[in-house]
A and B are shown apart, each in its own frame.
Chain A
Amino acid sequence: MLRYLAKRAATYAFMIFLTTTAGYFLAVNTLKPALLEQERIPRPTPEQVANSFRLKGLDPELSPWERYVEWLTAIVTRWDWGRSPNGAFINAEFGDRVWISTRLFLASIILTLIIGVALGVYTAARQYKASDRVITSYSYLVYIVPAPIAYFLVQLGAININETVGERIFFVTGISTPGLEGDGWAQFVDMLAHYAVPTFAITIVGWGAYQIAQRQYLLDNVNADFVRTARAKGLTRNQAISRHALRVSFIPVAQSIAFTIPAIFAGGFFAEKIFAWHGVGSWSIDAIALQDVNAATATLAYGSVIFAIGAILADFATTLVDPRVRVQ
């Protein structure tokens, strides 16, 4: 098992290296921070700009290859992912961003998984009844709504509630009220007010896919031969399904869940953008807008690492829940 994981990890490390390298060259060739500097007032001279960038290790006069070698050497020797055009250190920024993304997504992904899987089981047990039709149609509807628009509509709804009530119940952007004074309770209420809308939005858009998957896998199994065997033993239909079919149908779902978990730390572009939480996702978009080569590449590398961890976790989850692929 360990040998296998090591082999997979090595393959993925190589892939990550390739994608990151490709991303770096794409970024270094298209992102030109010097252009933005010229919009400053007073406009700096090209020499000033070049000098300032050289100090930050972003010398625009070097060839892409030279910059790549320099950048890679810094990472390999000092684990230094470089600096942004505004002078900030990527390494320092990273921790904060990941922490914000985690806070935004942790609750909603857990809710998404629980609601999605639970509703999947519920609808499978009530196949073709009204509740199943309503829930499943909703999940299919979510498929044809782009996520950012759904988030926006939820945001709109929250604003409407605020307006109707005439009081600011929900905050639709940001993590917390800056400079809020007060005791623990006030802080807690403020946190709830900020978390409620994004968590709700991400959850209601997210669970559809899990509901459909879990429902389908369970339906594939409710009439399986082994469920019939369990019933022939003297288990009621519901007992047989919950003890036997559910466990088997959960195998592929567990795999996709394992895949999703690391994504919590990577955040999401759309949600972070729309709810103005400055996590990893929105950082990557901002980095591009600010022509920030190092930040863009770092987020890309981070995304690849998260994907690789997810893939390995998925393998791991399969071996955990399915004895057939367990290695003796």
Chain B
Amino acid sequence: MTNLNTVDPATVAEAKLETNDVVIAKSSIILRRFLRNKTAVVGLVIFLALTVFSFVGGFFTSWDKETIDPFNIGMPPSAEHLLGTSQAGIDLYALTVEGTRISILIGLVVGLVSVLIAAVYGCTMAYFGGKVDKVMLFILEALIMMPALLVVAVATSGGGNGLQETLPSWLLLIIVLLVFSWMGTARLIRSLSMSLMSRDFVKAAQYMGIPPRRIVWRHLVPNIGSLLVLDITRGVTGAILAEVAFSFIGIGIKVPDVSLGVLIGQATSQVSTFPWMFWVPLAVMFLLTGSLAMMNDGLRDAFDPNSSSVGSARKSGTKTGRTRKTQEKAV
């Protein structure tokens, strides 16, 4: 036999032992690679800390976002009010906690759901092709054409609308942002899956008689998976930024709902007299978007199958319970 690696019995025996350790959980490899990127880890830590803060931060103060402190109106930070109070006399710390939560909520929901819509829409276009693809592409382009901001403004500012009475403004903003945020990703996913469909390994699977559903699930999805994850972080950043921008000029979230954009926007008129009201929520926003940008870089590296850090992650992959069971059966 013309081996590249001459097989001697010892290695085969050893190999058999080692094969019981096989089938590594790929998620653990990706995690390891991600953890190796220091910037990304710092980003993740900041983001998680902010998320936790937005949920439990309220317990560290006796004030909430509605109670007015009549003795402290527009006061700078003090022992009583950690971050001072707003012009209405509401504790700014409580407002920031609430605003951060709303902003993260908007970001996460819009980021995740829009990528989901994009993936389904894009894959459908690529998979069916032909007429279906043409019609869906037309709809997609028409949506790209609509100036999103106008629609946001109409939906959130229109008077006497039943929608606005039943839905809080942040939910309305989420819905409108969702409608206008998925098209770019969908188009990207479409072209990517189309090129994947013509790749040899997909052809090989087809020629092996693997059913199309399984090909999509086992070959297409994992190969666009990294793009999806990256697009989620990008989408979250985009949604947080959009919320701030819209609320800043007064067409996004409406008072009494609070968000970072609302807090920043409200503070602009007195930025020289009450600077803390402006800079504190702005700093939180930068921490949020900055941490996401830092994570993005690490994720890209972790999902790249050609990453140079493959080697050392391979050795000691932790096993998932299921693979262990199959292996026991196999032995």
Contacts and interface: CB of A to CB of B under 8 A. Distances in A.
Interface of A: 11, 15-16, 18-19, 22-23, 26-27, 29-32, 35-36, 140, 143-149, 152, 156, 269-270, 273-274, 284-285, 288-289, 291, 296, 299-300, 303-304, 307-308
A143 B145 contact: no
Nearest to A284: B150
A291 B245 contact: no
B271 A23 contact: no
B64 to A, nearest CB: 27
Given A31-B159, A274-B249, A304 B289 contact: no
Given A15-B141, A288-B150, A144 B245 contact: no
Contact of B158 (A22, A30, A146, A308): A30
A140 B297 CA distance: 12
B290 interface: yes
Contacts of A30: 154-155, 158-159, 161, 163
Given A18-B142, A152-B268, 12 more contacts: A11-B138, A15-B142, A26-B151, A27-B158, A30-B154, A144-B289, A144-B290, A146-B241, A285-B249, A288-B157, A289-B157, A303-B145
B150 A143 contact: no
Interface string B135-153: 0001001101111011101
Given A32-B159, A144-B290, A144-B293, A19 B146 contact: yes
Contacts of A140: 293
A187 B248 CA distance: 33
B248 A291 contact: no
A149 B249 CA distance: 9
A299 B153 CA distance: 13
Nearest to B248: A148
A303 B158 contact: no
A176 B167 CA distance: 42
Contacts of A147: 245
A143 B146 contact: no
Interface string B287-311: 0011011000000000000000000
A32 B249 contact: no
A285 B153 contact: yes
Contacts of B55: none
A43 B155 CA distance: 27
A300 B150 contact: yes
7 contacts: A15-B142, A30-B163, A144-B293, A269-B149, A284-B153, A303-B145, A307-B145
